[in-house]
Amino acid sequence: MREITLARALGEAIREEMIRDDTVFIIGVEVGLYGGCFRVTEGLFDEFGAERVIDTPISESALVGAAAGAAVMGMKPVAEVMYQDFATLVMDQILNGAAKLRYVHAGQATVPMVLRAPFGASGAGAHHSQSIEAMFCHIPGVKVVIPSTPYDAKGLLKSAIRDPNPVLFFEHKLTYGIKDEIPDEDYTVSLGKADIKLQGKDLTIVTWGLMVHKALNAAAELAKKGIELEVIDLRTLVPLDTATIVSSVKKTSRLMIVHEACKTGGYGSEITDIVTREAFGYLDSPVHRVATPDTTIPFSRPLLEAIIPDEKDIVAVALSMTGNRITEVENGI
Amino acid sequence: MREITLARALGEAIREEMIRDDTVFIIGVEVGLYGGCFRVTEGLFDEFGAERVIDTPISESALVGAAAGAAVMGMKPVAEVMYQDFATLVMDQILNGAAKLRYVHAGQATVPMVLRAPFGASGAGAHHSQSIEAMFCHIPGVKVVIPSTPYDAKGLLKSAIRDPNPVLFFEHKLTYGIKDEIPDEDYTVSLGKADIKLQGKDLTIVTWGLMVHKALNAAAELAKKGIELEVIDLRTLVPLDTATIVSSVKKTSRLMIVHEACKTGGYGSEITDIVTREAFGYLDSPVHRVATPDTTIPFSRPLLEAIIPDEKDIVAVALSMTGNRITEVENGI
Amino acid sequence: MLHKDDLIKMYRWMVLTRTFELTMNDLYQHGRVPELQHCSVGQEAIGVGACYGLRPEDVVMPSLRTRAAFLVKGVPSKILMAAAFAKETKLCGGKNTSHHLGDLSLGIIAGTGIVGGSIPLAVGAALACKLKKTDQITVCFFGDGATNTGNFHESVNLAAVLSLPIVFVCENNQYAMGTSAKRSMLVDNIADRAASYGIPGVMVNGNDIIAVYDAVQNAIQKAKGVPPQPTLIECKTYRWYGHSQRDPVDGRYRTKEEIETWKLRCPIKHFREYLKRAGILSEEAIRETDNETRLEIEEAVRFAEETPYPEPGRVLDDNYAPVLEV
Amino acid sequence: MLHKDDLIKMYRWMVLTRTFELTMNDLYQHGRVPELQHCSVGQEAIGVGACYGLRPEDVVMPSLRTRAAFLVKGVPSKILMAAAFAKETKLCGGKNTSHHLGDLSLGIIAGTGIVGGSIPLAVGAALACKLKKTDQITVCFFGDGATNTGNFHESVNLAAVLSLPIVFVCENNQYAMGTSAKRSMLVDNIADRAASYGIPGVMVNGNDIIAVYDAVQNAIQKAKGVPPQPTLIECKTYRWYGHSQRDPVDGRYRTKEEIETWKLRCPIKHFREYLKRAGILSEEAIRETDNETRLEIEEAVRFAEETPYPEPGRVLDDNYAPVLEV
Ligand SMILES: Cc1ncc(C[n+]2csc(CCOP(=O)(O)OP(=O)(O)O)c2C)c(N)n1
Ligand SMILES: Cc1ncc(C[n+]2csc(CCOP(=O)(O)OP(=O)(O)O)c2C)c(N)n1
Ligand SMILES: [Mg+2]
Ligand SMILES: [Mg+2]
């Protein structure tokens, strides 16, 4: 076991898969010589050379399309788009290209590619701060993964690289520095399985990415008041692990969804929809979404802090949702 | 009053706004000399000339960005993208350009532009059949409109052109030929207001575009069985007319959402989320989404018909949702 | 080097392509085929000339209008026809139109219906071949209109910088739907755009099958060079019919005279006359070719009509590949 | 024609820009300014030379690194500094970074942070000016890396075809982050890419402010012509510092020697010497300029520090414009 950052865990996953399978290669803007904008691919250029660690011109559409084309021809590309905000530039290559290639070939083609992109607000302004995973979750043919811990990040990325389908792998920038103990030996974390990061009986939180940590912090806070949160880290948004979510909600009878993406059209409502149907009658209170309001993300810190969901927001909503129970606790009943 | 098709109603709206306001112009691929791929802009090139009806090279990103830039400088462009499937090519110019320009100028800029695009399955294959409105509903800063009748289409498009914000105006291809009586004089239909196309007390259907007509057909069918559907045509998806939806569901206690877009990540769940919270306790049965399953849209008719929601699907789900009530009716109680 | 037999085969492919297209044209007008056709009549020399010299393992990315590429690369005409009829075929199982289908076993990748959008995929195919150190060549087709898209620019530049074994073949039929190339670009020759990427740009008469063949073969040599070098080949040609069956032959965007002038430059007639003059093709053989191809296409139509539609129950298959335990 | 006074003013703008940049550089390293700077030191001649001859109504689309454009177009240094401090200013109210702000009253449109993504917007501005029949010119800045994006290609071609009054100014500092232009394109001169669009391409020494000024003024004449014609101007220059403050000055992608060689070609030093030789600028005046600009920037920093942060309560404002009854 060694303690490493999430960024390093990702780098290790790529490196080990490149060693394991020589059809794996990296392609992107500044992924090579420069070591990656967030240093995830650092060292790989020196180790594997310019053939397998391919720097491209600023041509995101072409490079992601090329990854899809190479995948069809038997390679396993790991493409990077420097910020998820720029992934809008490759939306066409994903939606009309990568995601459909297998279908239009009636199953003759496989498209084993990964597209990595960092997301989330870190104070870099309107065009480098967004969380637009929901757009990609609406594309049949792709899988969507967002890790929250170094352990998961490494295991999920390995599964993503080995998966025969296009996997969109989004990493919250503020999770890159998070440290964790991870095993020395090879392991994977399966796609499509949520992880219960904390067991609890009073309220289920479904979340992903950086928000997992905020939820866990809030849970620690609430535990002091006797409220036990169950925190589910989705890890894979598509395909969704419905069973884990629904059985948790049946236990706790309350559901809060937390995401950094803006609320309207966010992926949170997908979960509301499923839960309010599959656990109909189990809910003691309406589902609540804690999310960034519908706005362009501002640069200035005080503005940013006013909108990005944090522990305080989660605690407040949890308290209001568990109102009765708290009163009980406070009254010592 | 004259009976005209929805396509003609759109053409009239653009024409009348061009006469009314000389900052209005059209830009797109084949919108001019050719008259538009779906003939919506037919005749405008002859009437207004190449200056105000601008044919462009196949350069969707540039032309939509140019529309946004021109809007900031005081013009009112009506841009067209030939199929909504291709609007993925302009996702960046919408998300990072048009939608944010006002915000990053701290309110100094206005972006009065319209982007029109036809959507929906009509048998043209995987890349000319999609319904991806949900992706655009997740972009703060834009409005999203989908008409279902010629009357609404004309009135909504006029409002969209006069609106000081970027409006994404999506038209289902199979509604182009629908005919309606519309007034001779100028009128508008306000953005942000849903329309109750049919009053009923047993079940609320929320829908938009072509599906409005399928819902109305299904309602006629169900009426024979004594089940009264209330059919709400959203017309504007963003901003959403929550009040109309919620008060209808409080009345009927049942909600079905119908959309042609594929289910996961579709806009339907947004409505589930809002209703299950704002009408919590009012629902007699879970909300049901009737939508295309998560798949690339196939070309072959029998495949297509197997997945696109139709009257039969709506009737079946309505029957199952109103089960008790039907048994009552059938038993003559 | 092309031998007599090759020339005869190439001629036959052109005639077969045209017969296929004219038949589909006719079928569509009588409501007998569901696929909206985008007819390649007048442009047959390009697809045939470019693909004739390719090996089975070489990769082709057809454009919307490269019907010939499918046939020459080995898709049986009856399968192609059945695809246009939206019938069950192993090729695409009714899942997509015949214009955008693929068969990896024949080295054909299905393009996207987005103009310019398939070019990045083709570049990726070439990249894969280079990384796998095979000597496969990728040939990527697109129209004049496609060269105005961002994907063209990014992709050709990327292929140049990465030094990929790819040949870009632009079928410049002078129109993108109703937009004359004169209205969509200020350059006369698309081949000149190659200069922006530091690769060779070659202009050929796209109605001269031998010129196309030679240009592509030369480009293949460059693509096989050390280091490999991509080439952009512009084939000047003309679209005889409307953009699609919905677009009348002589739209208001061009004149009847222009169409007639270009019909005089028919690539098939041109080649036939050449072969006749060279004593390679007799009147007899010409009639036989006409007959044979007509029969083949009639058979294809019969086959297509008789082939069943795909099973609706399989509509959701093939969205995802199954994950095998690893 | 430039007069003596103009030259002195141009010199002052360059010095002011550099002082601004070096100060921000320093502030960032000491954690005193939140904005991650993308320093333009070494490239000042381009923004100043291109914008100096513009009228207030002319429109500018700055790139990530065109600090000078803001100053010359009329944004007070203290407001620009306050923006970098993420403070409340009328300009952007803390809503975006100082690199991507706009002030329509000064003819500056805020760019997007997407490389190449602002070019379509600038083309639209030029289109609006043409349609409104004003004689405003739009000047659009971008880097060498941006010319590899699809947006560059589509936009320049569109501007050419629509015959728009726009001047494209490429600040070729030879690097896009850590990627040398040599690794991202096979052409030596970006100006040559103009040929693909049938418009003039002009290459100038981007460290020679007069050469830049002249090239832009010539291009403006073409943009005002009948019909208007866009021009692509390539200004060869060099980025002295890292891509951003997070990137060390001499990354592994370039050598110290290369940087030092280019520092010898400093645009400010070059111009100062010229002005001295021409007797336009005395040692005295040089010192005064240094002093004045230093004081101005010190004052800007003080102002920025004292300016309050924006009201959090206003964070949601400005996403939508209010709809007035019509
Ligand atoms: C990005 C995009 N824009 C528009 C269309 C609609 N469209 C289909 S084919 C075509 C013309 C293409 O012209 P060209 O590239 O010259 O090919 P040709 O049809 O002449 O073979 C257009 C505009 C499309 N499919 N994709
Ligand atoms: C589409 C896109 N890809 C990548 C980035 C990250 N990025 C920001 S600036 C930059 C380099 C731009 O190079 P160039 O155009 O030469 O401008 P310069 O920074 O040299 O002024 C990159 C890659 C981005 N902002 N947008
Ligand atoms: Mg063409
Ligand atoms: Mg640069």
Establish whether residue C47 lines the binding site of ligand 1, counting it when its CB lies within 6 angstroms of any ligand atom: no
Tokens 């496609």 found at: C146
Q: State the pLDDT at residue C92.
A: 87
**Cβ–ligand 2 contact at D235 (below 6 Å):** no
Distance A57 CA to ligand 2 centre (A): 10
Contact B295 A140 (CB under 8 A): yes
Chains sharing 3 or more CB pairs under 8 A with chain D: A, B, C
Q: Please give the distance, rounded to the nearest whole angstrom, from the Cα atom of residue D98 to the centre of ligand 4.
A: 19
Pair (A140, A20) in one structural domain: yes
CATH number at residue B284: 3.40.50.920
Q: With an 8 Å Cβ cutoff, is C149 touching chain D?
A: yes
Tell me if D145 CB under 6 Å of ligand 2: yes
Say what the pLDDT of residue A332 is.
37
Domain boundary among B182, B205, B238: B182
Q: Is the pLDDT of residue A327 over 80?
A: no
For the segment B219-233, what is each residue's pLDDT rounded down to a tens digit? 999 999 999 999 999
Residues of chain C with pLDDT > 70: what percent?
Answer: 99
CB contact under 8 A, D196 and C196: yes
Q: Is the pLDDT of residue C9 over 60?
A: yes
B105 shares contact with chain D (CB less than 8 Å)? yes
pLDDT tens column, C32-71: 999 999 999 999 999 999 999 999 999 999 999 999 999 9
Q: Is the CB of C17 under 6 A from ligand 1?
A: no
Which ligand does the CA of B117 lie closest to?
A: 1
B162–D contact, CB cutoff 8 A: yes
Q: Say what the pLDDT of residue B323 is.
A: 85
Same domain, B83 and B124: yes
C81/C89 Cα distance (integer angstroms) = 10
Of the partner residues D149, D185, D196, the one whose CB lies closest to the CB of residue C161? D185
Residues in A closer than 8 angstroms to B296, CB to CB, are: 99-100, 103-104, 140-141
* Residue closest to A29 by CA, chosen among A56, A1, A11, A49: A56
Q: Give, for B2, the enclosing helix (H) or strand (E).
A: strand B2-5
What's the gap between Cα B244 and its chain centre? 17
Mutation test of ligand 2: which of D21, D43, D64 has the most ligand atoms closer than 8 Å to its C-beta? D64
Is the link from the previous residue into C228 a cis peptide, with omega within 30 of 0?
A: no
* Mean local confidence (pLDDT), A280-300: 97
Residue B187 lies in a domain: no
Residues in chain B with CB shorter than 8 Å from the CB of C176 are 57-58
Label residue D90 by pLDDT band (50, 70, 90).
confident
Residues of C with Cβ-Cβ distance to B127 under 8 angstroms: 100, 112-114
Shortest CA distance from C196: residue in chain D: D193
pLDDT digits (tens, 9 = 90+) for D166-221: 999 999 999 999 999 999 999 999 999 999 999 999 999 999 999 999 999 999 99
**How high is the pLDDT of residue A333?**
36
Cβ atoms of C291 and C17 within 8 Å: the answer is no
Same domain, B205 and B124: no
The percent of residues in chain D predicted with pLDDT above 70, rounded, is: 99
d(CA D184, CA C301): 49
- With 0-12 / 13-18 / 19 or more C-beta atoms within 10 angstroms meaning exposed / middle / buried, residue D266 is buried
Give the CA count within 13 Å in the CB-facing half-sphere of D165: 24
> Going by C-beta distance under 8 Å and a sequence separation of 6 or more, which residues neighbour residue C31?
none
Residue nearest to atom 20 of ligand 2 (CA): D176
Which member of D94, D149, D309 has the closest CB to residue A58?
D149
User: With 90 as the cut, is the pLDDT of residue D18 above it?
Assistant: yes
Q: What is the pLDDT of residues C195-216, one digit of tens each?
A: 999 999 999 999 999 999 999 9
Cβ contacts from C onto D, under 8 A: 68
CB-CB neighbours of D76 under 10 Å: 15
Q: Are residues A232 and A274 in the same domain?
A: yes
Q: Does D100 touch chain A (CB under 8 A)?
A: yes
| Residue B190: inside a domain | no
Please check the confidence at residue A249 and state whether its pLDDT lies above 70.
yes
Whether residues A55 and A162 fall in one domain: yes
Residue A189 lies in a domain: no
Cα–Cα distance between C107 and A107 in angstroms, integer? 15
Q: Ligand 1: which of C177, C238, C240 to mutate, judged by most atoms within 8 Å of the beta carbon?
A: C177
Two tokens at D167? 């001047």
pLDDT recorded at residue A253 = 98
How distant is the alpha carbon of residue C292 from its chain centre?
A: 22
Q: How far does residue D268's CA lie from ligand 3's centre (Å)?
A: 50
**Do B280 and B202 lie in a common domain?**
yes
How far is B314 from B311, CA to CA, in rounded Å?
Answer: 5
pLDDT tens per residue across span C257-267:
999 999 999 99
- CA of C184 vs chain D CAs: smallest distance (Å): 6
Confidence grade of residue D326 (pLDDT, cut at 50, 70, 90): low
Residue B327 has a pLDDT of 42
Cα separation, C244 vs C266, in Å, equals 20
Instruction: Name the average pLDDT for chain A.
Output: 96
List residues of A with catalytic annotation: 128
Do D88 and D309 form a contact (C-beta atoms < 8 A)? yes
Which residues on C lie below 8 Å from D183 (Cβ)?
161
Block mean pLDDT (10 aa), chain B, length 333: 96 98 98 96 97 98 98 98 98 98 97 98 96 98 98 98 98 98 97 98 98 98 98 98 98 98 98 97 97 98 98 97 58 37
Cβ of C177 below 6 Å from ligand 1: yes
Do B210 and B62 share a domain, yes or no?
A: no
Are B165 and D321 in contact (CB < 8 Å)? yes
Question: Is B163 found in the same domain as B36?
Answer: yes
Q: State how far residue B105 is from chain A, nearest Cα, in angstroms.
A: 11
Structure confidence at residue A330 (pLDDT): 42
* Together in a domain, A226 and A168: no
Q: Which candidate from C149, C192, C198 shows the least CB-CB separation from D154?
A: C149
Does the pLDDT at position C249 exceed 90? no
Centre of ligand 2 to C-alpha D234, Å, is: 17
Q: Could you tell me how many residues make up chain D?
A: 326
pLDDT above 90: residue D325: no
pLDDT for the residue numbered D204? 98
Q: What's the pLDDT tens digit per position in C109-119?
A: 999 999 999 99
C-alpha distances (whole Å) from C128 to each of A152, C131, C291 are 30, 5, 42
- D286-297 burial by CB neighbour count: b if 16+ within 10 A, else e? eeebeeebeebb
Residues B79 and B110 in one domain: yes
Average pLDDT over residues C153-164: 98
D231-257: pLDDT as tens digits: 999 999 999 999 999 898 777 899 999
What does pTM read for this prediction?
Answer: 0.98
Interface of D with B in 150-209 (CB under 8 A): 150-151, 154-155, 157-158, 161-162
Q: Is the CB of C67 under 6 A from ligand 1?
A: no
Asked if residue D93 has pLDDT above 50, the reply is yes
Q: What is the pLDDT of residues C23-33, one digit of tens each?
A: 999 999 999 99
Residue-number span of the structural domain to which A160 is assigned: 2-182
Does A328 score more than 60 pLDDT? no
Inside any domain, residue B151 = yes
Could you tell me if residue A188 is inside a domain? no
Question: CB of A296 within 8 Å of any CB in chain D?
Answer: yes
Contact with chain C for residue A88, Cβ under 8 A: no
CA of C185 to the centre of ligand 1 (A): 15
Q: Which of A226, B62, B119, D50 is nearest to C152 (CA)?
A: B62
Distance C15 CA to ligand 3 centre (A): 21
Chain C: list its partners (3+ Cβ pairs within 8 Å). Answer: A, B, D
Q: Is the CB of C88 under 6 A from ligand 1?
A: no
Rg over CA atoms, chain C: 19
Instruction: State the distance between the two ends of chain C, measured CA to CA, in whole angstroms.
Output: 48
Q: What is the mean pLDDT of residues C274-300?
A: 98
**CATH number 3.40.50.40 given to C4-304:** no
Convert the pLDDT of each residue in A31-71 to its tens digit. 999 999 999 999 999 999 999 999 999 999 999 999 999 99
pLDDT for res C248: 81
C117-144 pLDDT, tens digit per residue, is 999 999 999 999 999 999 999 999 999 9
CA distance D172 to chain C (A): 15
B57/D319 touch (CB, cutoff 8 Å), yes or no = no
pLDDT band with cut points at 50, 70 and 90 for residue D263: very high
Report whether pLDDT(C101) > 90. Answer: yes
* Residue finishing a domain among A148, A182, A216: A182
Residue B199 and residue B178 share a domain: no
Helix, strand, coil % in chain D, rounded to nearest 5: 50, 10, 40
What is the pLDDT at residue C326? 54
A117 touches chain B (CB under 8 A): no
CATH of the domain at B125: 3.40.50.970
B130 Cα–ligand 1 center, Å: 18
Residue among C247, A294, A96 at smallest CA distance from B84: A96
A56: closest chain D residue by CA: D184
- Cβ count near A136 (within 10 Å): 26
Closest CA to B58 of C75, C243, A102, C167: C243
Q: Is residue B171 part of a domain?
A: yes
**Is the per-residue pLDDT at A329 higher than 60?**
no
What count of Cα atoms within 13 Å lies in the side-chain half-sphere of residue D190?
Answer: 32
The pair of three-digit structure tokens given for residue C198, joined into one six-digit string: 């530091």
**Chain D residues touching residue B67 (CB < 8 angstroms):** 124
Q: What is the overall mean pLDDT for chain C?
A: 97
Q: How many domains does chain A have?
A: 2
Residues of B in contact with D322 (CB under 8 A): 164
Nearest to C172 by CA among C195, C146, C197, C196: C146
Chains with 3 or more CB pairs under 8 A to chain B: A, C, D
Chain B interface, mutation test: which of C35, C88, C95, C118, most B Cβ atoms within 10 Å? Answer: C95
Phi and psi torsions of A258, nearest 5°: -125, 120
Q: What is the residue type of B149?
A: T
Q: Are residues B140 and B44 in the same domain?
A: yes
